[in-house]
């Protein structure tokens, strides 16, 4: 005790300050710390929920981006296949048109040949008739001259 008195500390005052400290500690704990700790806990929960939601959103974004890449890749593959199919169909249509054109040309040539052959025969018939008529006239004239002479 003597050391405490030598330091200028009043033991009764020290005990009173200790009691005051405990009373203030109790009041703060009851009325200030609990609401503050409750508010901090609530804030911590809100932050954790926000972090979890942000992480979930990031994961969802990554999945969506991956799905978008897959859809885009699939669409590009389908477009490429459609282009190739269209090119093949175009080539087939051109080949069919060429073949049809060739067949039509062959038919036209055959028809022209038949027409030429028919017209040639008709001309030969007419020529034969005409030559026969000329020969008959010539013969008549020759005979009439022979008979008149």
* 123 falls within a domain: no
- pLDDT for the residue 31: 83
Is the pTM higher than 0.75? The answer reads: no
Residue ranges making up the domain that contains 99: 2-115
Domain count, the chain: 1
- The DSSP code for 30 is I
In whole angstroms, give the CA distance from residue 40 to residue 28.
Answer: 16
Tens digit of pLDDT at every position of the chain (149 positions): 677 777 777 878 889 999 999 999 888 888 888 888 888 999 999 999 999 999 999 999 999 999 999 999 999 999 999 999 999 999 999 999 999 999 999 999 999 999 999 999 999 999 999 999 999 998 888 888 877 76
* 10 falls within a domain: yes
User: What's the sign of the alpha-carbon dihedral 34, 37, 43, 46?
Assistant: negative
- pLDDT for the residue 1: 64
* 42 falls within a domain: yes
* 81 falls within a domain: yes
């Amino acid at each position: 005790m003597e050391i405490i008195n030598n330091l200028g500390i009043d033991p009764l005052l020290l005990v009173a300050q200790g009691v005051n400290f405990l009373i203030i500690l109790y009041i703060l704990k009851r009325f200030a710390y609990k609401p503050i700790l409750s508010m901090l806990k609530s804030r911590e929960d809100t932050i954790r929920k926000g972090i979890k939601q942000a992480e979930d959103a990031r994961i969802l974004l990554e999945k969506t981006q991956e799905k978008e890449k897959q859809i885009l890749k699939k669409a590009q593959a389908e477009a490429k296949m459609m282009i190739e199919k269209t090119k093949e169909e175009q080539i087939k249509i051109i080949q069919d048109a060429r073949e049809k054109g060739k067949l039509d040309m062959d038919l036209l040539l055959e028809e022209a040949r038949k027409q030429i052959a028919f017209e040639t025969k008709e001309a030969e018939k007419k020529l034969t008739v005409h030559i026969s008529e000329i020969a008959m006239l010539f013969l008549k004239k020759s005979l009439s001259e022979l008979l008149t002479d």
